[in-house]
Structure 1
């Protein structure tokens, strides 16, 4: 794979990470406010307080958005060299955040199924882009 293709995939992953983080922040605001858009399922294995889920999603969403914005912002700077070349720590952090988000959204399925499935799709695309963005050697 060419270095250009690897940097394009990493750029895609950074944009999707920022979008996924923004989606998590938006849903967390509704959950913290105890909005009535959420459903409640009886006897679900991962049953937590809705406000607690909201705070977890807010924290993860801010981390994801911040990391995506950092990678996007450093594409042209000195640290941008690491992002352009598909550095392992850049890909690894994106992969870790997307994987954590995927697990959290899976656990979030009984509260807002459609939103959880959409954000899980975003997370899978981030994971794919991070694992396929190795530069040519």
Structure 2
């Protein structure tokens, strides 16, 4: 018995969306590396990362922030690899984690302004890239 299957046609818009998703996955893995390095640095040498100043705005102690950045980096890296693999829920998880990461770096803005602004910009780019095209992977 033979069955006739209709071939799936891809358009330029579909190929563009896959390219944007791959870009988002790449940026997510890059952010993950940055976050893991930040987390480890905060755990190893807390005074160098978060120096004690009179007007310190840090919400939690440096060790807690180190663990937050480390966990966030690992989760974003896993979601980034999920986006590379084409796992549908990885895009939604990536958007949520990118929003949490942007918020965490916003809270860290007073301690390291340039680094936080750079990471927030990368997080916004990831959110845009993961939400610009909403059709599921094939």
Identify the TM-score tier after normalising by the shorter chain.
0.7 to 0.9
Q: After TM superposition, give the deviation of residue 38 of structure 1 in Å.
A: 3.4
SS at match of 1:2: helix
Aligned partners of 2:110, 2:61: CA distance in 1, in Å?
12
2:125 aligned residue: 125
TM-score, normalised on structure 1?
0.79
Distance 2:14 2:37 in 1: 35
C-alpha offsets along residues 10-67 of structure 1, whole Å, 9 cap, x if unaligned?
11111111111111001111111214143456163x5211111010010010011122
Partner of 1:29: 40
Question: How far, CA to CA, are the matches of 1:59 and 1:35 in structure 2?
Answer: 20
- Count of residues in correspondence between the two structures: 123
Task: Report the TM-score, using the length of structure 2 for normalisation.
Answer: 0.79
The equivalent of 1:53 in structure 2 is 65
Compute the displacement of 1:69 (Å). Answer: 2.1
Matches within 5 A, 1:60-71: 60-71=72-83
- Give me the whole-angstrom Cα distance separating, in 2, the residues matched to 1:103 and 1:40: 22
After TM superposition, which residue ranges in structure 1, 4 or more long, deviate above 6 angstroms? none
The 2-side partners of 1:107 and 1:69 are apart by 27
Which structure has the larger Rg over C-alpha atoms? 2
Point out where structure 1 has 5 or more consecutive residues left out of the alignment. 75-79
**In the superposition, relative to structure 1, how do residues 102 and 116 fare at CA in structure 2: closer, same or farther (>3 Å)?**
same
Q: Closer, same or farther in 2 for the Cα pair 1:13/1:98, shift >3 Å?
A: same
- The residue aligned with 1:113 is 113
Deviation at 1:102, TM superposition (A): 0.5
Inter-CA distance 14–55: structure 2 relative to 1 (3 Å threshold):
same
Unaligned runs of 5+ in 2: 1-11
Larger relative contact order (Cα-Cα within 8 Å, sequence gap ≥ 6): 1
